[in-house]
Chain A
Amino acid sequence: MGSVEISHLNREFIRDDGVRVVALSDINLSIADDEFVSFVGPSGCGKTTLLRIIAGLDTATSGEVRVDGSLITGPGQKVGMVFQEYSLFPWRNVISNVAFGLQMRGISKEERHNIARKYISLVGLSQFEKSYPYELSGGMRQRVAIARALATDPDLLLMDEPFGALDAQTRNHMQCELLDIWETKKKTILFVTHSCDEAVFLSDRIVVLSPRPGFIREVIPIPISRPRDRTNKEFIDLRRGILGMIEEEEREKERVKCKSGNL
């Protein structure tokens, strides 16, 4: 479960000065059950907008998104989301954050806490279940956010640059953990990222978007078997190829990063 069908999707915005801006133009994409697909592209290419439309938080101007055949019209039970910024409710401790979705589904306190505990231990934070978000580091908060999104057992997990605010080392850890979770829980994951390295490391397929108007430039399958080695030639070639496709200024930024050894 968790297949996604996007057909003829368009999204336009009307700016304050009345100018029409096309954010997404004729997006067509099929994503299979349990597939891990990343979206990369320069800033302003509409990758976050696309994810928000799939989530039901934003609506398309035309076209449609179907998850397991049913049309998306708003946030639904089958879809979970992890946000880029810290989205944990600061007034709830870890366990009641993770149990929130279950609470909304009317599950009794004891039962939802039992389920929440399983997911908290899945992300390795069992000893922090009574902690409040302010007591946790950035990486721990995103772990809790992942546990919270998983606790309602969605078929499709959307992740909008979830590791964007983390330092490189924590980020690499989190990527490995996410793959472990994906392999045990068998979800479809759609992952928006700025980092080609992250996309190549994680994904079955990478969707490269181009800006103004946002359209799918290319869909690249990643044939490397997991666990992947970032220093492997095939890995590096794929990464370089995708970087090449991304806009000039964005590529410059990435190259500077590579030169300083921040791979």
Chain B
Amino acid sequence: MSVQLARIVGIKVMTGNLLGPRSPVYIIFSISALLIFWQVLADVIVQNPFILPSFTDIVVAFYALLFVGTLPMDFAVSMTHFFIGLGLSLLVGVPAGILIGWYPVANRLLDPLIELIRPIPPLAWIPFAIVWFGLTDLAAGFVIFIGSVFPVLINTYEGFRNIPRVFVEAGRMLGCSSNAALIRHIAFPAALPHLAAGFRVASGVAWMCLVAAEMFGVSRFGLGQKIWWYYNLHQMDNVMVYMLILGFVGLIIDYFFRFGMSRTLLKWREGEVN
């Protein structure tokens, strides 16, 4: 009774499943093991905070940066770069993917171009990004766009190519006949799981490109920019702080995206085979 009550009000009750598959014990154990190993390695073996700052050095550095540093500004600038790049990717990649996925002629025309440009590593575009857009947020956004547009495009295309024919035919029999209506009511929702997968890959690539783009001095702030900045100041503890922040922010973006999609747009996929 009390267990049920606790469940209703949302309190997690440990009923002897301390080592069950969903128990937080594992994650707590593995992270604390890492932290202890790191601390011992840095303090006892390396003994040089320039080569390897210890965990406590990082905590202290992070605390200091909260008051004297530019963390909020760096975060805001990086988010600007990230959303410019990823936004452009969606704006270009989704319609282009729909076009080549739905119209075979468009595929035959555009596929050679895509396959020609795609193998160029996004970072190789940095010089031209700077020449075209100057040392601006847009230049960083452009590099991120180049990196993330292809996963969006390719996955949208794949999603549209893999729509079961019966959905399209059922739609046509029910009066959904124009290409626009079929794309909107049948193909797009059917392809949405592919689009979501593409977006996740794209946001990962975007995050990587962001750090690289910011290292080339396109802005005075930024999470990636500060890594290079503090490296030049030989403040390796701050470099490590920014590395960890980059990791956490990437993790949180991915988590919110997955959570948001599975709760709303992709609710119907619960119980479907992936």
Question: Which A residues contact B (CB, under 8 angstroms)?
Answer: 55, 57, 74-75, 77, 79-81, 83, 85-87, 89-93, 100-101, 104-105, 132-135, 148-149, 152
Known interface pairs A80-B174, A86-B166, A104-B181; 9 further A-B residue pairs with C-beta atoms within 8 A, sorted by A's residue number: A57-B173, A75-B172, A75-B175, A89-B186, A89-B190, A92-B268, A104-B174, A134-B272, A148-B174
Establish whether residues A135 and B181, one from each chain, have CB atoms under 8 Å apart when the complex forms: no
Contacts of A83 on B, CB cut-off 8 Å?
Answer: 166, 169-170
Q: State A222–B162 Cα separation when bound (angstroms).
A: 43
Residue-wise, chain B 204-237 has the 8 Å CB interface mask toward A (1 for contact) of: 0000000000000000000000000000000000
Shortest distance between the CB of A21 and any CB in chain B (Å): 20
Residue-wise, chain B 53-66 has the 8 Å CB interface mask toward A (1 for contact) of: 00000000000000
Shortest distance between the CB of A109 and any CB in chain B (Å): 14
A75 contacts which of B177, B181, B190 (Cβ < 8 Å)?
A: B177
Asked if B192 is an interface residue, CB under 8 A from chain A, the answer is yes
B173 contacts which of A80, A92, A133 (Cβ < 8 Å)?
A: A80
Asked if B270 is an interface residue, CB under 8 A from chain A, the answer is yes
Q: State A91–B173 Cα separation when bound (angstroms).
A: 18
- Which of B169, B174, B175, B181 is packed against the most chain A CB atoms within 10 Å? B174
Q: State A93–B267 Cα separation when bound (angstroms).
A: 11
Establish whether residues B172 and A57, one from each chain, have CB atoms under 8 Å apart when the complex forms: yes
Asked if B167 is an interface residue, CB under 8 A from chain A, the answer is yes
Shortest distance between the CB of B157 and any CB in chain A (Å): 19
Given contacts A91-B192, A104-B181, contact A57 B268 (CB under 8 A): no
Contacts of B123 on A, CB cut-off 8 Å?
Answer: none
Establish whether residues B268 and A132, one from each chain, have CB atoms under 8 Å apart when the complex forms: yes
Contacts of A133 on B, CB cut-off 8 Å?
Answer: 268
Query: For residue A79, which residue of chain B has the nearest CB?
Result: B173
Query: For residue B193, which residue of chain A has the nearest CB?
Result: A91
Query: For residue A88, which residue of chain B has the nearest CB?
Result: B170
Contacts of A85 on B, CB cut-off 8 Å?
Answer: 164, 166
Q: State A101–B192 Cα separation when bound (angstroms).
A: 21
Q: State A79–B267 Cα separation when bound (angstroms).
A: 32
Shortest distance between the CB of B123 and any CB in chain A (Å): 38
A134 contacts which of B173, B174, B270 (Cβ < 8 Å)?
A: B270
Contacts of A90 on B, CB cut-off 8 Å?
Answer: 190, 268-269, 272
Q: State A92–B177 Cα separation when bound (angstroms).
A: 19
Question: Total number of A-B contacts with CB less than 8 angstroms?
Answer: 70
Size of B's binding interface in residues, CB under 8 A: 24
Q: State A186–B28 Cα separation when bound (angstroms).
A: 67
Establish whether residues B268 and A134, one from each chain, have CB atoms under 8 Å apart when the complex forms: yes
Query: For residue B174, which residue of chain A has the nearest CB?
Result: A101
Q: State A207–B190 Cα separation when bound (angstroms).
A: 37
Establish whether residues A74 and B271, one from each chain, have CB atoms under 8 Å apart when the complex forms: no
- Which residues between 256 and 274 of chain B lie within 8 Å of chain A, taking CB atoms? 267-272
Residue-wise, chain B 133-172 has the 8 Å CB interface mask toward A (1 for contact) of: 0000000000000000000000000000000101101111
Query: For residue A81, which residue of chain B has the nearest CB?
Result: B173
Q: State A219–B171 Cα separation when bound (angstroms).
A: 32
Shortest distance between the CB of A232 and any CB in chain B (Å): 36
Shortest distance between the CB of A150 and any CB in chain B (Å): 11
Establish whether residues A152 and B268, one from each chain, have CB atoms under 8 Å apart when the complex forms: no
Asked if B189 is an interface residue, CB under 8 A from chain A, the answer is yes
Contacts of A149 on B, CB cut-off 8 Å?
Answer: 173-174
Asked if B176 is an interface residue, CB under 8 A from chain A, the answer is yes
Q: State A85–B165 Cα separation when bound (angstroms).
A: 11
Please list 16 pairs of residues, one from A and one from B, whose beta carbons are closer than 8 Å in the complex, sorted by A's number. A74-B177, A75-B172, A77-B175, A83-B166, A87-B169, A87-B170, A89-B170, A90-B190, A91-B189, A101-B174, A104-B181, A132-B267, A132-B270, A134-B268, A135-B271, A149-B174
Q: State A93–B268 Cα separation when bound (angstroms).
A: 8
Query: For residue B172, which residue of chain A has the nearest CB?
Result: A75
Establish whether residues B268 and A105, one from each chain, have CB atoms under 8 Å apart when the complex forms: no
Query: For residue A58, which residue of chain B has the nearest CB?
Result: B169
Shortest distance between the CB of B270 and any CB in chain A (Å): 7
- Which of A133, A134, A149 is packed against the most chain B CB atoms within 10 Å? A134
Given contacts A85-B166, A134-B268, contact A100 B174 (CB under 8 A): yes
Q: State A11–B166 Cα separation when bound (angstroms).
A: 21
Q: State A135–B268 Cα separation when bound (angstroms).
A: 9
Query: For residue B189, which residue of chain A has the nearest CB?
Result: A91
- Which of A75, A93, A133 is packed against the most chain B CB atoms within 10 Å? A75
